Amino acid sequence: MTRSPELPLPEGEEKRRAVRSLFDTISGRYDLVNRVMTFGMDRGWRRRAVRSLRLPGGALVLDLACGTGDLCIELQRNGYRAVGFDFSHGMLVAATTSAPLAEADILRLPLRDGSADGVTCGFALRNVVDLGAFFAELGRVVRPGGRIALLDASEPENRVMRAGHGVYFRQVVPRIGGMLSDARAYAYLPRSMAYLPSPAEMVALLVSSGFPDAERLQLSGGITQLLIGTRG
């Protein structure tokens, strides 16, 4: 049987609507699926992101596309004041953090310039409509000297690991998602990697957005990437 071609990934306003609907749909079991499909490694990735902020205690850190609030919990555990923003109402309803949360478009945050000491974002870079606009918004809301820590999935550089990861991410993850949550949503998530530009392009975008020391770190053999930087 010939495999039917995949539909093109949505763009612009269509992508915005699709992403919101997707995360509203999977919000109830989002944390469970994350734990299962990452074998619990997602907790360590979030701890690493928060440690990389290196901000003083009590610093105000925004968690953008906060989902159910895992990063907010980790931020509070490390002595930061966390505030979460997400445009998925379902994810906010399912949140388990005590941090204040707001429903908002993270490309247009309802905040003054330079009002945040830091920003975190977990596994949402490929879901924003315009990554350059998102990085520019980070440059606007983070004060000089503030820090960012942005997590997302990535492909390992090692050929063998990349092949194994490709099979797991594109074939096994959708099956796990289908058993525990929504098959269609978890078929989309691996495909959404195509939205991300190359690592060099992402670092260059961050530099041009006001983070001159931006760099990319590979975690767990390269299956996850962490973008960090200091506001100039």
* H helices, E strands: number in the chain: 10, 7
Token pair recorded at residue 138: 């980070």
- Mean pLDDT across 30-41: 83
For every residue of 111-124, which 3-state class applies, written as one string? CCCCCEEEEEEECC
pLDDT, tens digit, 9 for 90 and up, residues 69-118? 999 999 999 999 999 999 999 999 999 999 999 999 999 999 999 999 99
Chain segment 193-211, per-residue pLDDT in tens: 889 999 999 999 999 999 9
CATH of domain 12-230: 3.40.50.150
Section 55-62 average pLDDT:
98
Cα dihedral 198, 196, 50, 149 in deg (nearest 10): 60
Is pLDDT at 183 greater than 80 in this prediction? Answer: no
Q: What is the phi/psi pair of residue 58, to 5°?
A: 85, 0
pLDDT above 90 for 167: no
Which amino acid, one-letter code, is at 169?
F
The separation between the first and the last C-alpha atoms of the chain, rounded to the nearest angstrom, is 56
Give the residues across from 149 on adjacent strands.
120, 228
Q: Look up the pTM and report it.
A: 0.90
Confidence of residue 191 (pLDDT cuts 50, 70, 90): confident
Helix axes 131-141, 199-208, angle to 10 degrees: 40
What residues does each domain of the chain span? Answer: 12-230
